[in-house]
Every structure is written in C-alpha cells, then in structure tokens.
Amino acid sequence: MRTLRQREWLWLVPILLIAAGLAIRLLNFDLLWGDEVLSYDHANLPPYSQVDLWAQLQRLIERFPTQSPAYFVLLKLWGGLVGVERLAIRSLSVLLGMVVIAMTYRLGTTMVNKRVGLYAAVVLAGSTLMIYYMHEARQYALLLALSTTVTWAYWRMQHARPGRWPWITFVIASVMLVYTHWLALLVPLGIGLYHLTQPKTRRWWVILLTLIAANATILPWAILQLPNIMNELGDGRDAIAFNALDIPGTVFYAFSNGGMALLLALTIFAIMGRHNDKEALRFCLIVITGTLIAAIVVNSITPAFIHVRYFMMLWPVLALLAALGLSKLAEMRVPVALLLVSWLVAGAIPSWTLDFAAELPNTQQPIIAGELPEVMRVIKAEADPDDLIVFHLTQPGNEQSQRAPLEFQFQWTDMRVIQLGELGSVFEDDYRAEVDNLVADAPLVWLAQRTDIEQVTDLPIFEDEISQGYVFCDLWQPEERVDVRVWADRDAPVSASYALADAQLDLRVHRARRYDPALISVIVDYEATAPLPETSVALHIYDESDQLVQQADFALPDLSQRQCNRLQMDFGGLGAGDYRLDLIVYDRASGERYAPASETYPLQSDDRLELFTMTLFD
C-alpha cells in the first residue's frame, strides 16, 4: 500500500500526455492570428529582419511599449533550435504548458499532499482555456509556468525549512515573471496579501524583502515604458474593457469550462475540508479574491483588463481550490475519479474545435487552417508581384484582425494583397471605380475566399467589374469551405496563332510555372473564329536529348466564346537533369499537329511552343 501511494505521481504521466496531445493537435489546426504574428516580429524571427539581442530590446522599447521582453527572448532562442514554422514556434507553449501542469501537481503536493496535487493537475489539464494557450505562440504559457513556480517556491520558503534552492528559484522566477507581462505583478501582489497574514518572524521579514527586491527589478524597464504604456492603454480600450461584474464572472466561467455551479460546489466543499487543509484554502481564497479586487480597482482607473487571458496566472490557484473540494468529496466516499474524468472530457470536447475559447469576450475568431496554408503557398508560387491577390477569410467587419497575418504570409514577396472587405466605397459606381483602380492592369486576379462565413455584400459587383476586363480561368476547391478563382487580362498579347483549316485560333499563355517539386501550372486562354470540337492541347516534357519523357493532354473547351483554363501537370518520377516544357495543339482524330506563329515563345521543330526550361536535382 505504501508503495502504491509513493507511486501516485505516476498518474501525472497520462495527465500530461492527454493535455499535450490535445494541444499538439491544435498546433497546425488554425492559422496564426495577429498577436502571434507580432510574436515573430518581437522575437525577430524570419521572415522579419534579424537583429542582435540588444537591438531586439531597443525595438521593443521604441515600438511595442506594452510588451515585456522575457518571452520573446526565449522564443528567439527556441526558434534557433527548432525552426520557425508555425508548428515549431507554437510547440514552445506545449512544453511550457506541461511544466505548468507538473508544477501545479508539485504545488498541491507541497501545500497539502500528493492526492490534492494530482487532483489539481487533472483540473488544470481539463481547462479548455489552458489547452488553448498551450497551442498559441504567446507569453501566457510562460506566465503560468513562472507564476506557479514562484508560488511553489514561496510556500517552501514560508512553511518549510528549505535549503538555498527554493530561495534561488523564487528570485529567478520572480524576475522572469515580471519581465514576461506587466499584469504578472498581480502574482506577487496576491502572495504579498497572504504573506501579511503570517506571523512576523525574522524569516517573514527576509521573505518580504526578497519579494520586494525581486519584483523591483522591473523598475528600470517601467521607467522607460510607463508613459508609452499609459498612452497605449488609453487608445480605445475603454470601450471593450471589463466592468466590475464582468471580471469575476468571466474568470470563473472560463476556468470552469462554463460549469460555474460545479466550481462553486467544490469551493464550498473545500471550505468544509480538513483542518490541515485550511492554510492552503486560506492562501487560495486570499490570492483569488485579492487579485480580482486589484484588477477591478485598476480597471476603474485605466482599461487594462480586456480579456480573460490576463487572469491566466490564477488558473493553478483555482485548480488547487477545486482540488481541495475534491479531496473533501473523496473523504465522503464520493467517486472522485468519475468527476475528474468528466471534467477532462468536458474540457477536451470544446478544445477540439476552439469554439469555447473563441466565444469568450473580446476574442479574435480563429480561422481553421485546413487547406488555406496550401492555397497561400500555391498562390505565392504562381503569382507575380503585378498580380492582384484578394482574400475573404473572416467575417465582414473583422478584416483588421487578419491584416497582420496576411502581411506575414506574403512578407518579402512584393505582391499586392488585400481583403475583399477592405474596399470601402458605399455607392456602386464608386465601388466599381475603386476595383478598377485596384486592379491597375494586373496580369492575373486571384480571389481566395471561405464559403462557410457571411459573404461580403459587394462580392457580385466585384466579380462583375473584374469580368469587364478579365476572362475567368479557373475555380478550384481545395476543400468544401474554400474556393479559389483566377481571372486573366483580356488585353494580354497573343502568345501564338494557329491557322487551322476552318478557323483561326489565338492562344494566350498568361502564366507558365513550376510551383511544386513535381507540379506545373499553365494558365492559357483560347479565342477562335469557330468552334474546334476535335482540337486538343498537350503539355510535353522533353529531356536533354530532346526525348519526350512525359505528357498531359487537355481537350479544348467549347470555343463558341473566349475560354481560359489553368492546366496542371504532375511530372513526379523524373530523374535529375535539365528538361523543357513544350505546348502542342493538335487534332485528336488524326493526330495532326498545328504549327504556331509566335513572337513571344521560341518554337521547337515548327510545331512545339517552348514555354520554359527547368533543372531537377536529386
């Protein structure tokens, strides 16, 4: 029996794995949002310019006054180790989140016993918002890890006979904490309020001075930043800041996954708990109450609190409070294991879709990634800087939230990228003129839009105005909720002319490009003086010895009017070497090839239009 109790901590392993699994699944689930893009910028990660640490701190002081540096320095180091892809950068938060859960177990074990520590770890791992911020490339997972570490070290210092390591841990973690987020100062405030209730021994004074000294290290940064911070806090935040009633209600609702009645019941049972749990209970109640009152006071002076994530440092303490209630229920022979499993399931289900976190006040709606990253990759590969690229990815009116992510995706491409909802003209004639000015003779116009959200009211006018000077070339749907449309300039010069027996065929190659290791795309439109039902186009790949090694054939569309197609060819399997892509027009019935006349592309053997050459490597 004693051996089993000594191994109770092993139950922490599946808890960590469940939380990590839920968070890892989300790493590529949604697109980066504006604040995550700012994390790349603040940490000077590619595609942003690379600078040294001192220059990075200078940029934060000058350009981003409300951003403390600790997380971004850590993120820069992390990016250097694992890479800067979305999954890699977000994975730091997964690691930090696992530290939070493990330290919460340690905190509960130190304050009460291993069972309470285990309960607290399960409760925290079952918080949907905890899982959400374990997948986001922001500082909140670090904020949680440091605040839990500071709390654990403080408890060891105050209630045990610690060696030097709890003191060292407390100082280092406290300094890092206040340099992670300005509102992290609520953590030492809550601890300080509890500390004031303790006997005034010599150790009490030493701990108090250590607490003050560690947090006073923020003063140099604060002196530099405070004027800028106050200016930024006054920039429209008062319209969305929480009021006095919003703060506790939103915190308890978010922590409990909407189950506030259960959290209240667990708090009542915690108050009814054993005598030796009372000090831990008193700590939890003082810290939670003191922090919320302080936040209400601060928000009455300046609108600092506009989102529940600013209270995430309370999550481990709230988890400990719930664990104390569960411990009392266990004494009463209530099946606590069933409650814990239910709590985990209740947290896992909403975290699967991000819906719960997205519905909290003042939250930017996440955009499920799906095939959208692939769509952006294809457009970046096929488009030219003169093209116009239009997106509709978020609900009308929320375009500002996606401006930074789109700029991030197309950084250093010199491509013109807009959101459809950013066109601001009210009257139709003005709107059409705005579209014309925006297009400005672009060779191609790309429109990538989500079909599962409300469409922009002026979308039909946009498409109609585009069609006045452009021919529609392609519509592809990489997934059910996304479609991509491409138009080509009607006035583009003819690439090749074919004199057929019964008609004249003009062919315009708008774009021919290899956009993938084994994929070719050719955007071409056809204009004929009569229908050509038996005519086809072929793409041929020739090797260095002019031998045909691969081909793809496409029947010409109905040419009763001008038509355009985006032809794609997969050339996977070709070995290393130099290759040439040719275009051939031929009669399907007889196999006869038609000779082109072209001043744009070189001809091969009189009947093949050479589009481009390429070199493949092993």
Cα 114 to Cα 146, 147, 211, distances in angstroms: 21, 20, 27
The pLDDT of residue 6 is 59
* Of the listed ranges 82-91, 235-244, 317-326, the one predicted with least confidence: 235-244
| Closest-CA residue to 451 (of 374, 378, 383, 372) | 372
Could you give the CA distance from residue 608 to residue 586 in angstroms, rounded to a whole number?
Answer: 10
CATH of 372-489, one of 1.10.357, 3.40.190, 3.40.50, 3.30.2420: 3.40.50
The pLDDT of residue 53 is 76
Structural contact between residues 509 and 587, judged by C-beta atoms closer than 8 angstroms: no
Strand runs labelled E in 249-406: 388-392
Residue 221 or 9, more confident: 221
CATH architecture of 496-616: Sandwich (2.60)
Residue 374 has pLDDT above 50, yes or no: yes
The pLDDT of residue 4 is 44
**pLDDT tens-digit profile of 74-99?**
999 999 999 999 999 999 999 999 99
Look at strands 596-597 and 548-555 and give their pairing: unpaired
Residue that is written with structure tokens 């609108």 in the block: 303
Residue 103 or 606, more confident: 103
Q: What is the DSSP string of 467-507?
A: HHHEEEEEEEEEETTEEEEEEEETTPPPSEEEE-SS-EEEE
> What's the whole-model pTM score?
0.90
The pLDDT of residue 235 is 59
Q: What is the DSSP string of 73-127?
A: HHHHHHHHHH-SSHHHHHHHHHHHHHHHHHHHHHHHHHHT-HHHHHHHHHHHHT-
The pLDDT of residue 517 is 82
Host H or E run for residue 64: none
Residue 275 has pLDDT above 70, yes or no: no
Host H or E run for residue 178: helix 164-178
Domain ranges of the chain: 11-358, 372-489, 496-616
The pLDDT of residue 404 is 87
**pLDDT tens-digit profile of 112-137?**
999 999 999 999 999 999 999 999 99
Contacts of 564 (CB under 8 A, 6+ apart): 471, 472, 473, 474, 488, 510, 523, 524, 525, 526
The pLDDT of residue 1 is 43
Tokens at residue 589, please?
């019935």
